[in-house]
Amino acid sequence: AFGIILLIFPLYQIAAFQIEDYQAQQKQEQALTKSNLVSLTNDQLPLDVYYIVVDGYPRSDFISQYLGASNTEFLESLENRGFFVAHCSLSNYTDTRFSLASTLNMTYLDGGDNIPQVIYPGSTLDSMIRSGNVQQNFSELGYTIVTFESGYKWLRWEESDIHLAPAQERSSHFFNIGFNDFEQLLLDTTAAKLLFDLPFILNPVQKDRLAEIVNNPRAAHRERVLYALEKLPAIPEEIPGPKFVYAHIIFPHPPFVLDADGGPLQNSPPDELSAYADQINYIDRRLLEIVDTLIEKSDPDPVIVIQGDHGATIEYQDLGIDPSKRLGILNVYYLPANLNDSITPHESLYPTITPVNTFRLIFDRYFNGEYGLLDDKSIIGRQSPYTNLECALPE
C-alpha cells in the first residue's frame, strides 16, 4: 500500500504546486511594491547587469572568527579591480526565501507596517521571487533576462528569456516540479524506485536523471555549481545585450561537494567548518576569474553585484555561536561610471548597505528611477527585534 501511495506522489505534487501558484498569484499584487517607472534616455548606452548570489556566503569577520580562515586577499583583489566591498553588510533576513523575496522586490516583507516580521505565506514569497519587481523592470527596459538552474523550483524565474542548466537537467522535465526535504527522503526509498519500472510516467532520459539524483544527489548538485561557474564568463560573447543575468549558486552553502582545489568530495567531511572554509576558498578563486572575464569581454563595462543571501548555514546552537551571526554576508559591487553625469561610481555606496537597497540604487543610478534608499534593517527568522552586528572596518 505504501508503494502505491508513492506511485501517485508525483501527480499529487504537481496538483499541489498548481494550487499554490494560483493562490500566490492572487496575493502577489498586494505583496509587491508598485513598479517605479524606469527608463533609458536616447543617448544612454545600456549596461549589462550581473547579479550573482553565492548562497550562504558569510561576512569576512565570521570567516576569520569561526571558520579559521580568511577571505581578505579575495576582498582586496576585488577592490583592486574597482569593486566596492560593503565590509559591514548584513542580509535583511536569515532565510533564503525571505531574503530574495525582499531583494528582488526592493521592499521589506512587513506589508508596509514597519514591523520586524514577515507577514506573507511561503507561496506568496515564492511568487515574489519568481516574478518580482526587479525582473519586471528589466523586462520593461527591453533587457534579455538570463537565469541559471539552482535545483529549486521556487527559485526559478518563470518568465526568463534564457534559462541555463546542465544538459541532463534541461532534458528532465519531471524535475521541474521540485522537491522539498521530506519528498527527497521519500525518493530515496525502495518503494519510490518503483517509478523506474513505469514507462508511462518516466521516459528513458527522465529515468536516468531520477536514478542519478536518487543514487548520487551530491554529484547532481556539484554539476549545477560547476556549470554556473563555467558558463558565466562565456555569457558576454554568447548572449547579446542588453541583458540582466541572475545566477543563484547554491554554494558555499552545504552540501560540501568540493574541496579547496575544486576536487570532488564523495562524502560529507567530518569537519564541516573546515569544509565550509574550503568551499569559500574555492569559489573566491573562481569568482575572480569570472569578474575578470566579464569586465574584459563587456563593452561598456557591466554592473556586477556578488552577494550572499544570508550568512553561513551551520548548527549555530550546537556550536555555541550566536544565531544572529547568520546575518553577516558578502556584498560587493562593481558600478561603472555613468558618462551622462558627474556621479562617481561608489558615491551612493556605504559599508552597511543591505540587499533591500541593491536594486533601488542600481535603478536610480543607471535607469532614471526614483526609488531612493530605505533604512537598512535586519531580523532573524520570520519575526524578531531588529538586529545589528558589531563590525570593524579594515584599516
In tens, the pLDDT along 105-120 reads 999 999 888 899 999 9
For the chain, helix (H) and strand (E) counts, in that order, are 13, 7
Give the confidence band of 183 by pLDDT, cuts at 50, 70, 90.
very low
Give the confidence band of 213 by pLDDT, cuts at 50, 70, 90.
low
DSSP for 68-131, written as a single string: S---HHHHHHHHHTTPEE-TT-B-S-SSHHHHHHHHTTTS-SSTTS--SB--S-HHHHHHHHHT
Confirm whether 285 is domain-assigned.
yes
Confirm whether 204 is domain-assigned.
no
Domain range holding 301?
36-174+217-366
Confirm whether 7 is domain-assigned.
no
What is the Cα–Cα distance from 277 to 63, expressed in whole angstroms?
7
What is the Cα–Cα distance from 229 to 282, expressed in whole angstroms?
11
How many alpha carbons lie under 13 Å from residue 371 in its C-beta half-sphere? 31
What is the Cα–Cα distance from 54 to 67, expressed in whole angstroms?
17
Confirm whether 179 is domain-assigned.
no
The grid coordinates of residue 384 equal: 524578531
Confirm whether 19 is domain-assigned.
no
Confirm whether 185 is domain-assigned.
no
Position 40 scores a pLDDT of 87
Query: For the whole model, what pTM was predicted?
Result: 0.85
In tens, the pLDDT along 46-79 reads 999 999 999 999 999 999 999 999 999 999 999 9
Q: What's the CATH number where 116 sits?
A: 3.40.720.10
Residue in this structure with the C-alpha cell 508511462, named with its chain if needed: 200
The grid coordinates of residue 275 equal: 569544509
Helix axes 272-297 and 217-231, enclosed angle (nearest 10):
30
In tens, the pLDDT along 316-350 reads 999 999 999 999 999 999 999 875 555 666 778 99
Confirm whether 9 is domain-assigned.
no
Question: Helix (H, G, I), strand (E, B), or coil: what is residue 163?
Answer: strand
Sign of CA dihedral 260, 249, 300, 236: positive
The grid coordinates of residue 202 equal: 518516466
DSSP for 319-377, written as a single string: TT--GGGGGBB-EEEE----TTS---TTTT--TT--GGGHHHHHHHHHS-----PPPP-
Residue in this structure with the C-alpha cell 561603472, named with its chain if needed: 336
Say whether pLDDT at 360 is over 80.
yes
Confirm whether 291 is domain-assigned.
yes
In tens, the pLDDT along 134-160 reads 999 999 999 999 999 998 989 999 889
> Which residues have a Cβ under 8 Å from the Cβ of 270 and sit 6 or more positions away?
none
Q: How many angstroms separate the Cα of 16 from the Cα of each of 9, 21, 185, 348?
A: 10, 9, 18, 44
Instruction: Count how many domains the chain has.
Output: 1
Q: How far is CA 92 from the centre of its chain?
A: 14
* Cis bond before residue 255 (omega within 30° of 0): yes
Residue in this structure with the C-alpha cell 556550536, named with its chain if needed: 319
